[in-house]
C-alpha cells in the first residue's frame, strides 16, 4: 500500500491574503502538492476560468452535491456557497500526493473534525503582533477604534487555537517560504514516518 499524502489546509480571517499566498506558492513551479479546486456558486470574476479557479455551480447543483455527500466541507460566505470536492481529495491523498486546500475558517473547522491528521496552517494578518504589543503596552488610548481592533484581534487569536501552525503574512514571499518549510518538516514527523519503518522491519 502506498503512503498517503498530507492534507494541507491554509486558512485564516477574511482579507488576510490567503488567495495571494496560495497563488504565489503554486506559481513557484516546483510545488509538490496538488491544489484542490473548490466549487462555488459565486459568479466568475473577470479572467477566472471554470475548472481552473473554481468549478462554478448553480445553487441547485451545489445543494444536490451537499445531499449526495460529495463535499468534504462547505460554507456559506457573503451569500454564496463554497466547498471542497471530497472524491478528489481522497483519491489524491490515496495516490500518495499532498493536497492543498485554501478555504475560509468555518470550512477549516469542519475539515479538522473529519481529518484530524491534516496539517492546519493559520495565515495571520501582518499587523497582529504589532497590535498585540500595542494592546499590552501601558497608557494606550482607549478610543472606540482601538477597542474594536482589540476585539477583532482577540477573535483572530482565538481562531488560531484550532491550528497546528501560524504564519504571519508580513511578506508574501516569506509566508510562502514558511509554509513550504512547515510541509517539509511535517513529512519528517515521527507519527508520519514510523509506519514505513515498522513495515520495513516486519518485512525483514
Binding site for ligand 5GP (CB under 6 A): 14, 18, 38, 42, 73, 75, 77, 82-84, 102-104, 106-107
- Strand segments, DSSP code E, in the chain are 7-11, 34-35, 39-40, 55-56, 71-77, 80-85, 99-102, 119-124, 165-168
Residue of minimal CB distance from ligand 5GP?
A: 107
Minimum distance from residue 91 beta carbon to ligand 5GP (Å): 17
Which one, 55 or 150, has the nearer CB to ligand 5GP? 55
Give the whole-angstrom CA distance, residue 181 versus residue 39.
28
Minimum distance from residue 35 beta carbon to ligand 5GP (Å): 11
Phi-psi map region of 61: left, alpha, beta (phi>0 left; psi -120 to 50 alpha): alpha
Give the whole-angstrom CA distance, residue 61 versus residue 64.
5
Minimum distance from residue 184 beta carbon to ligand 5GP (Å): 23
Minimum distance from residue 23 beta carbon to ligand 5GP (Å): 11
Which one, 11 or 178, has the nearer CB to ligand 5GP? 11
Which one, 103 or 176, has the nearer CB to ligand 5GP? 103
Output the DSSP codes for 14-43: TTS-HHHHHHHHHTTS---SEE-PPEE-SP
Which one, 104 or 156, has the nearer CB to ligand 5GP? 104
- Strand segments, DSSP code E, in 125-174 are 165-168
**Three-state DSSP state, 73:** strand
CA pseudo-torsion sign 12, 16, 18, 21: negative
Minimum distance from residue 190 beta carbon to ligand 5GP (Å): 31
Which one, 110 or 180, has the nearer CB to ligand 5GP? 110
Amino acid at each position: 500500500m502506498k503512503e498517503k499524502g498530507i492534507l494541507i489546509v491554509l486558512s485564516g480571517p477574511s482579507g488576510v491574503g490567503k488567495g495571494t499566498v496560495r497563488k504565489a506558492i503554486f506559481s513557484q513551479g516546483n510545488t509538490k502538492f496538488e491544489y484542490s479546486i473548490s466549487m462555488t456558486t459565486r459568479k466568475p470574476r473577470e479572467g477566472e476560468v471554470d475548472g481552473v479557479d473554481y468549478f462554478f455551480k448553480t445553487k441547485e447543483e451545489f445543494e444536490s452535491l451537499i445531499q449526495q455527500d460529495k463535499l468534504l466541507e462547505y460554507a456559506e460566505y457573503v451569500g454564496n456557497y463554497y466547498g471542497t470536492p471530497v472524491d478528489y481529495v481522497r483519491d489524491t491523498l490515496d495516490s500518495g500526493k499532498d493536497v492543498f486546500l485554501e478555504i475560509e475558517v468555518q470550512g477549516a473547522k469542519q475539515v479538522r473534525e473529519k481529518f484530524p491528521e491534516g496539517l492546519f496552517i493559520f495565515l495571520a494578518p501582518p499587523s497582529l503582533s504589532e497590535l498585540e504589543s500595542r494592546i499590552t503596552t501601558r497608557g494606550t488610548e482607549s478610543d472606540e477604534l482601538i477597542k474594536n481592533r482589540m476585539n477583532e484581534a482577540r477573535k483572530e487569536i482565538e481562531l488560531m487555537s484550532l491550528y497546528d501552525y501560524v504564519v504571519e503574512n508580513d511578506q508574501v514571499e516569506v509566508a510562502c517560504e514558511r509554509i513550504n518549510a512547515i510541509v517539509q518538516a511535517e513529512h519528517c514527523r515521527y507519527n508520519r514516518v514510523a509506519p514505513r519503518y515498522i513495515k520495513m522491519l516486519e518485512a525483514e
